[in-house]
Structure 1
Amino acid sequence: MTKRISVALLIAILSTSCVSKKLYTELEDKYAKLKKENRTLADTNDNLTKEKNQLDLDYKALQDELAKTRSERDKLQNDYTAASNNLKNLQSSYSALEKNSNDELQSNMTKNRELLAKLEAKEKALAAEQARLDKLKADLQSSSQRLAELENMMAQKDAAMRKLKETLSKALNSFEGKGLTVEQKNGKVYVSMENKLLFGSGSWAVGTEGRRAVTEVGKVLGDNPDITVQIEGHTDDVKYQGSGQIADNWDLSTKRATAIVQILLENKNINATNITAAGRSQFSPIAPNETAEGKAKNRRIEIILTPKLDEISKMLNEI
């Protein structure tokens, strides 16, 4: 807002003083261009936030579907057990009826016919129950196999992310204690860099030490082309008071996230379609903003690495 007022005031002053029409026109064009850039950045930020939220929803849906599949597997197991017990009861009943039929055959033909009729009905029921049991067993085996494959695939994804976290930790070991951390949670790997390692106050230009850290991350990502990368810029709750090309904390956090993306893309092995950048401003703190230490932790860049879940989604749809 300060920037807009300053530009408007400058235009008003120049329009009332002895300024050439060319200079006045150039100032107007520049003002219009800045407004357009501001709108574009705001739209980009909204789109990236929506994409990030959708990815979180997709991941949760996959977890819910896995739980549902396990529940269905357990239900099939219970049905199988119940059917097996029923089959045993039918077999026992069949044996008893057969014995009674043999014992009473000579003494009571009428009773024997009734027993034979019951026996025939029992045999039919037994055959039907056996068929149902066989189907339940086949369904259970099929479901168990698909569930095992799904669990194995998810375990492989988790193992790959653990290996990625270890590789990043090793590559970034020299930055330990300089505001850089690497951790794995919720199936993702988070590389967090405090601004003291990357940027000067109010700037989105990455310093030498910060560039070196980002370049090391890029080397690891270049060797893992199937990883989805989300770059998030964060600020503390102190409102931006400067002027020039920055409008507010939203604008600053977005520019900082984009600056990190540009450094990563210097590595030609990284697929740009796997990367998104987002500015989160002050609205996702990890520490209280009441202390200088907390503010420092909140001023950060987070590089969030997520495995692609296309194959797992396809398998869940097939179950």
Structure 2
Amino acid sequence: MRNLFILSMIALMLGSCVSQRKYDELLATNKSLESRVDRLEQVKQAYDKLVVDHEALQSERDRLVREKSELERRANNLRENLDKLNVEYESLLSQNEVLLASATEERQALVEELGRKENEIAQKERSLERLQRDLDEKEKDLNKLQASLEEREARINELNDQINAQRDILDNVMAGIEQALMGFSDADLTVTQKDGRVYISLSQQLLFEVGSDRIDAKGRDAINKLAEVLNVNPDIAITVEGHTDSDGSAERNWDLSVSRATSVVKILTRAGVDPIRITASGRALYDPVAPNDSPENKALNRRTEIILSPDLSKLFELVQRD
């Protein structure tokens, strides 16, 4: 869509059919829409990265837990061996007391055996101390990892809460719009939700006479009812896009699509919608919903779309937080 829009701009400049001011306005509008799409993509990428980091931290935590369990098992084995050696040592001491009067060779052998056992006990105690230090370090690493994991989980939960809140707002807005516009036929207007936005498509038949940018009474009624819903949802950004079929010159279609979008904006603002929330643009014949190969399809393409987008400022604050 972006490339098509740029090509259409170049074609208009080469044909010198549209004034520089209108071209600049359309270019600025296109950049604004691209910026919104880019910001939504940044939020999605940041969210996906947080989920991947969370899974990596969870895996690292599981590994440390397994290592901690293994160290604890080895430490317990060493303690058991140490207890056994202490029992044997005490037994040898008792035997030594009994055999103090025994032959010199037997007494010397017992003393040597006692020395060996003492050395073995000392080695086991040093090994146990090393294992205990390793266990303490693993415990510290595990605590740090757990804290980081909890922080990541909190940020992911907060992001999910914000995303769900924006989805609820759009669902409520869409329900309110459907209720407000219930008296209009599907041929006159449709309301759909796509890519986190609400799209309201108003047919030319509902709003304008052929080739005119003056909105008739039925169209003004529909826009005023829509404005009532928008006024109670002030955090929703509004984009109004005019579209035409392929009949007539490109220059005429550009002018007509822009002026029709502007006419809709004027009614919205007169109905109390804050102008700072609204962006108006014309897409001429360059964004059709059907091929311009039949009267029926051309009628589908002659439309005005009102696109409602949620406020993403809180999501960006969460993504950019250290």
Post-superposition offset of 1:251: 1.6
Task: Find the partner of 1:115 among 107, 124, 133.
Answer: 124
Aligned partner letter, 1:114? Q
Task: Find out whether 1:255 has 2:255 as its counterpart.
Answer: no
- How far does the alpha carbon of each residue in 1:246-288 deviate from its partner, in whole angstroms, 9 at most, with x for none? x4211211111111101100022x2111100011111111112
Q: C-alpha displacement at 1:57, in angstroms? A: 0.9
Distance 2:249 2:211 in 1: 8
Which position in structure 1 is the counterpart of 2:311? 308
Tell me which residue corresponds to 2:207.
Answer: 198
From 146, 150, 169, the equivalent of 2:178 is 169
Superposition TM-score, scaled by structure 2 size: 0.83
- Deviation at residue 178 of structure 1 after TM alignment: 3.7
| Aligned residue type for 1:185 | K
Q: Which residue of 278, 293, 296 maps to 2:296? A: 293
Residue 186 of structure 1 pairs with residue 167 of structure 2? no
In the TM superposition, residue 38 of structure 1 has moved relative to its aligned partner by: 2.7
Alpha-carbon separation, structure 1, partners of 2:320 and 2:123: 52
SS in 2 for 1:232: strand
Letter in 2 for 1:294: N
Partner of 2:38: 57
Give the corresponding residue for 1:86.
67
Q: Deviations over 1:136-177 (max 9, x none)?
A: 111111211221121011111101100100100010111123
Q: Distance in 2 between matches of 1:252 and 1:174?
A: 27
2:98 counterpart residue number = none
**Secondary structure at the counterpart of residue 212 of structure 2:** coil
Instruction: Name whichever of 102-111 and 283-292 sits farther off.
Output: 102-111
Partners of 2:127 and 2:173 in 1: CA distance: 67
Once the two structures are superposed, the pairs formed by residues 98-137 of structure 1 within 5 Å of their partners are 98-105=79-86, 106=89, 108-137=117-146
Structure 2 distance, partners of 1:290, 1:69, is: 47
- Deviation, structure 1 residue 295: 0.9
Match of 2:13 in 1: none
CA distance in 2 between partners of 1:93 and 1:164 (Å): 62
Q: Does 1:220 align with 2:201?
A: no
Deviation at 1:68, TM superposition (A): 1.0
- The residue type paired with residue 50 of structure 1 is K
Q: CA-to-partner distance for each residue in 1:167-208, whole Å, 9 max, x for gaps?
A: 000101111234200111111111101111111121111111
**Equivalence map 1:3-18=2 (5 Å):** none
Residue 221 of structure 1: how far off its partner (Å): 0.9
Q: Which amino acid aligns with 2:180?
A: A
Q: Which moved more, 1:220-229 or 1:171-180?
A: 171-180
Cα distance in 1, alignment partners of residues 300 and 229 from structure 2: 24
Aligned residues: 279
| C-alpha deviation, 1:110, in angstroms | 1.9
**Structure 2 stretches of 5 or more lacking a match?**
1-15, 90-113
Which residue is equivalent to 1:264? Answer: 268
**How big is the alpha-carbon RMSD for the aligned residues of Structure 1 and Structure 2?**
1.7
Q: Report which stretch shifted further, 188-197 or 172-181.
A: 172-181
Cα deviation for residue 48 of structure 1 reads 0.5
**What's the CA shift for 1:239?**
2.8
Structure 1 residue 240 displacement after superposition: 3.1
Q: Secondary structure at the match of 2:248?
A: coil
**Aligned residue in 1 for 2:92:** none
- Percent sequence identity is 29
> Hey, what does 1:76 align to over in structure 2?
57
1:6 maps to which residue?
none
Q: Which residue in 1 is equivalent to 2:160? A: 151
- Which amino acid is the alignment partner of residue 80 of structure 1? R
- Which structure has the greater CA radius of gyration? 2
Within the candidate set 310, 318, 321, 1:318 is matched to 321
Partner-residue secondary structure (3-state), 1:114: helix
Match of 2:101 in 1: none
SS at match of 1:211: helix
1:39 Cα deviation after fit: 2.2
- Between the aligned partners of 1:100 and 1:250, the Cα distance in structure 2 is 89
Q: Deviations over 1:66-115 (max 9, x none)?
A: 11111111111111111111111010010111212222342622222222
1:41 aligns with 22
